Structure 1
Amino acid sequence: MEGWEGLEGKVAVVTGAASGIGAASARRLSALGARVVAVDVDADGVHGVVAGLPGPGLAVPGDVSREEDVRRYAQRAVEEFGRLDLHHLNAGIVGSFAPLPELTADDFDHVLGVNLRGAFLGVREAFRRYRTQDGGGAIVLTASIASLRGSHDLLPYQASKHGVLGVLRGAAMYGGPLGVRVNAVAPGLVPTGLFSDAAAAAGGGDDMLRRGTTVPLRRTGTPDEIASVVVFLLSDDAAYVHGEVISADGGSAIVNTVRPSGGAGAWDTTAVDGRPDAGDRPAEGVR
């Protein structure tokens, strides 16, 4: 596979690698010559992903919210491959769809434990490893459109993803003088197993394709499309990109939700797509 520079021979850890964006990231990195350490609580899933990689890989089952598990995957990486260069800290959960008054403190703590504490522990371990080896590397965090915008549901998830940007910016300020780049990707609507447990809930998995028809590109994204951004940010081609949040959301983050010309919230986008300057866009507005 042709692609970004500087990945050949590097050792890359990918968390949340058993499926979705993490699995796609692991496959792309491997195809570009990286040696991949895939981490996930789903032991069978992460072993299956590593078995299908085109290059060397190591599966490490583990919970990113546990300090001992984070230390263990880093240690396993060094034992197997000698060092640890790149980090895609991707593991995350959605949490409860319960209305705000019905959320419990345990709901909140559980989501922040994986999404925010996990990001912190992963970043901290990355810098600890860089300190003990001859040089650093690059880190990419998986943020979300929920890091940038709000809604009245999924409050623990939104709080955690806003917090990920705090970790990103602090780590970028610390890492810059050391030559360690830290960036984030903010996916929009990407159908993965993340929402599968809440498929029937409003805003869950089953209506994601329908909601995707209202984003400017009129479709949802794919894990591979997000992984391509991750791999770019980890590569030497992004050598002067630092402390940034790159949205990969089909344009969702630019929509003005109070203007009808944005088509926001309207399932029938004909009035927007049928304007005189719309050109030869297909009538259904979906591809």
Structure 2
Amino acid sequence: MFDGELLSRKSVLVTGGGGGLGREIAAALSGLGARVYICGRRVGMLEETAAAISAKTGNPVLAHACDVRDADIVDSMIEKIWQDGPLTGLVNNAAANFISPTKDLSARGFRAITSTVMDGSFHTTLSCGKRWIDQGVRGSVVSNLVTWVWTGSAFVVPSAMAKTALHAMTMSLASEWGPYGIRLNATAPGPFPTPEAWEKLNPLPDAQSSATDFATIPMRRFGEMHELTNLIAFLLSDACDFLTGQTIAIDGGQHLAAPSTFADLTNMTGEQWQSAREQIEASTAKSKAAQTKG
């Protein structure tokens, strides 16, 4: 739907850009002419993704290993990127999540999610924002949130809390940084299946939540990646310079018509939750093995 050069003058960082949704976003932005940077903790995956997208689009995609939970590491990465020229856009996509009864969560488990989602997104936003302000550069930040910022959700409380904090950050900084020409917006996707995230949110086939069931979506289907990446590209473009401070739901109307949450998992038995934990741990171990191999 867009001209192929829509983002030809843009330079954008996508956090968590090595795989899953981040890879899809990076590919879409590169395909529209943007110079794209991706970061994450899996070096091998990042490099493979960067090479594959660059070969397909003909536009440079550059990979940086970075743990967004560490503010100093983030600032060092942003400084290195700035040596090529200032970024014009940032996509806060790095995230972590899994379902669990909140009473069973450890402090470590809570921080594993909130430190990536909330802290990491703030670190990247601040590091870019202070440079944009100092240099008089107009910038755009897009954060990937969830519809739970309006409804809350059982069994994913750390994620709901962290994403809601970013919803507040989006509104707050849109007001504070508007005079500098810096826009902040967010997307709130419904179910857009990606393999790794889907496994952790659906560890038991016989206990699927309505949050990931297309029967609860008025449009009776899951989202398609190009629909979400089109929205993100639009928000990063010059087509909507007066749009800021907004979180836009893109969920086929799910959160308006039915619980877009995991509340119905209240009926799961202790044995089912134990099986779910084992499935999540197996998925995590598989991901770490892939990271080590890379």
Residue 28 of structure 2 aligns with which residue? Answer: 28
More divergent stretch after superposition (191-200 vs 81-90): 191-200
Amino acid at match of 1:49: T
- Of Structure 1 and Structure 2, the greater helix share is in 2
Distance 1:187 1:203, change over 3 A: farther
Secondary structure of 1:52's counterpart equals helix
Instruction: List per-residue Cα deviations over 1:51-89 (Å, max 9, x = no partner).
Output: 12211111011111111221132122122x222111011
Q: Deviations over 1:21-44 (max 9, x none)?
A: 211111111111110011111222
Q: Tell me which of 81, 84, 87 is aligned to 1:84.
A: 87
Query: Is 2:64 the counterpart of 1:60?
Result: yes
Partner of residue 121 from structure 1, selected from 115, 123, 143: 123
Instruction: Quote the RMSD (CA, aligned, Å).
Output: 2.4
The corresponding residue for 1:37 is 37
Report if the CA contact (8 A) 1:209-1:220 is conserved. no
Change (3 A) 1:178 1:4: farther
1:115 shift after superposition: 0.5
SS in structure 1 of the partner of residue 132 of structure 2: helix
SS of the residue 1:37 aligns to? strand
1:75 maps to amino acid: E
Q: Following TM superposition, by how much is the alpha carbon of 1:133 offset from its aligned partner in structure 2, in angstroms?
A: 2.7
Contact 1:5 1:237 survives alignment (8 Å): no
Amino acid at match of 2:238: D
Q: Contact 1:10–1:86 (CA<8 Å) still a contact in 2?
A: yes
Q: TM-score, normalised by structure 1?
A: 0.82
> Given the alignment of the two structures, is residue 50 of structure 1 paired with residue 41 of structure 2, yes or no?
no
Aligned to 1:72: 76
Counterpart amino acid of residue 36 in structure 1? V
Q: Would the alpha carbon gap of residues 240 and 200 (structure 1) be closer, same or farther in structure 2, given more than 3 Å must change? A: same
The one-letter code sitting in structure 2 at the alignment partner of 1:118 is G
Query: How many angstroms apart in 2 are the aligned matches of 1:83 and 1:20?
Result: 26
Conserved? CA contact 1:208–1:220, under 8 Å: no
For residue 210 of structure 1, report the CA deviation from its aligned partner: 6.6
Structure 2 gap ranges (5+): 265-294
Gaps of 5+ in 1: 258-264, 266-287
- Distance of 2:92 and 2:3 partners within structure 1: 21
Aligned pairs for 1:271-286 (under 5 A) are: none
Q: Is the 8 A contact 2:4 2:31 kept in 1?
A: no
Superposition TM-score, scaled by structure 2 size: 0.80
Please tell me whether the aligned partners of residues 14 and 90 of structure 1 are also in contact (alpha carbons under 8 angstroms): yes
Structure-to-structure mapping, 1:102-251, within 5 angstroms: 102-192=104-194, 193-201=196-204, 211-251=213-253
Cα distance between partner residues in 2 of 1:210 and 1:184: 21
Cα gap change, 1:103/1:203 in structure 2, threshold over 3 Å: closer, same or farther? farther
| Distance of 1:60 and 1:88 partners within structure 2 | 15
User: Following the alignment from structure 1 to structure 2, what is the Cα–Cα distance between the partners of residues 77 and 158?
Assistant: 31
Counterparts of 1:116 and 1:221 in 2: how far apart (Å)?
A: 25
How far, CA to CA, are the matches of 2:5 and 2:255 in structure 1? 29
| Counterpart-to-counterpart distance in 1, 2:92 and 2:249 | 16
Q: Could you tell me which residue of structure 2 aligns to residue 9 of structure 1?
A: 9
Aligned residue for 2:213, secondary structure, equals helix
For residue 113 of structure 1, give the secondary structure of its aligned residue in structure 2.
Answer: helix
Partner residue of 2:276?
none
Q: What percent of counterpart residues are identical?
A: 27
Q: Do the aligned residues in 1 keep the contact of 2:4 with 2:33 (CA within 8 Å)?
A: no
Q: Deviations over 1:253-277 (max 9, x none)?
A: 21155xxxxxxx8xxxxxxxxxxxx
- Deviation digits for residues 125-157 of structure 1 (CA, Å, limit 9, x no counterpart): 111220343412111011112222223211111
Any residues of structure 2 matched to 1:252-271 within 5 Å, and which?
Answer: 252-255=254-257
Q: In terms of mean alpha carbon deviation, does 32-41 or 194-203 score higher?
A: 194-203
